[in-house]
Amino acid sequence: METTLRGVGVSHGVAIGEVRHMGTAVLEPPARQIPAEEAEREQGRARQAVEAVAADLMARGNLAGGEAQAVLEAQALMAQDPELIADVDRRIAVGSTAERAVYDAFAAYRDLLAGAGEYLAGRVADLDDVRNRIVARLLGVPMPGVPDSDEPYVLVARDLAPADTALLDPTLVLGFVTEEGGPTSHSAILARALGVPAVVALPGAVELAEGTVIAVDGSTGEIFVNPGEEKKAQLEASAAERKAALASATGPGATSDGHKVPLLANIGGPADVAAALAAGAEGVGLFRTEFLFLDDSKSAPSEEKQVETYRQVLEAFPEGRVVVRVLDAGADKPLDFLTPADEPNPALGVRGLRTLLEHPEVLRTQLSALAKAAEGLPVYLEVMAPMVADRTDAKAFADACRAAGLRAKFGAMVEIPSAALRARSVLQEVEFLSLGTNDLAQYTFAADRQVGAVSRLQDPWQPALLDLVAIAAEAARAEGKSCGVCGEAASDPMLACVLTGLGATSLSMGAASLPYVRATLAKYTLAQCERAAAAARAADSADEARAAAQAVLSGE
DSSP secondary structure, 211-264, as one string: T-EEEEETTTTEEEES--HHHHHHHHHHHHHHHHHHHH--SS-B-TT--B--EE
Q: Does 370 score more than 70 pLDDT?
A: yes
pLDDT score at 511: 87
pLDDT score at 191: 79
pLDDT score at 451: 65
In DSSP terms, which residues pair with 234 in a beta bridge?
A: none
- What average pLDDT does range 140-160 have in this prediction? 83
Cβ within 8 Å of residue 43, ≥6 positions away: 88, 89, 92, 93, 98
- Of 291-300, 311-320, 325-334, 466-475, where does mean pLDDT reach its minimum? 291-300
Question: Residue 278 half-sphere exposure, CB side, CA atoms within 13 Å?
Answer: 10
Q: How confident is the model at residue 337 (pLDDT cuts 50, 70, 90)?
A: confident
Helix (H) / strand (E) element for 467: namely helix 463-479
14, 216 in Cβ contact below 8 A? Answer: yes
Max avg pLDDT among 135-144, 188-197, 436-445, 476-485: 476-485
Active site residues: 186, 486
Q: At what angle are helices 437-445 and 463-479 packed, to 10 degrees?
A: 120
What percent of the chain has a predicted confidence (pLDDT) above 70?
92
479, 205 in Cβ contact below 8 A? Answer: no
Strands 409-414 and 321-325: unpaired
Cβ within 8 Å of residue 465, ≥6 positions away: 437, 440, 441, 444, 445, 489
Cα distance between the two ends of the chain: 31
Q: Does 207 score more than 80 pLDDT?
A: yes
Q: How confident is the model at residue 233 (pLDDT cuts 50, 70, 90)?
A: very high
Report d(CA 486, CA 505) in Å as an integer.
11
Among the listed residues 202, 152, 163, the one whose alpha carbon sits nearest the alpha carbon of residue 74: 163
pLDDT score at 120: 47
pLDDT score at 159: 83
Report d(CA 304, CA 342) in Å as an integer.
32
Q: Does 549 score more than 90 pLDDT?
A: yes
What digits encode the pLDDT tens for the residues 45-82? Answer: 999 999 999 988 888 777 766 667 777 777 888 888 88
Q: Does 116 score more than 50 pLDDT?
A: no
What rounded mean pLDDT belongs to the chain? 88
Cβ within 8 Å of residue 225, ≥6 positions away: 2, 3, 4, 5, 208, 212, 213, 214
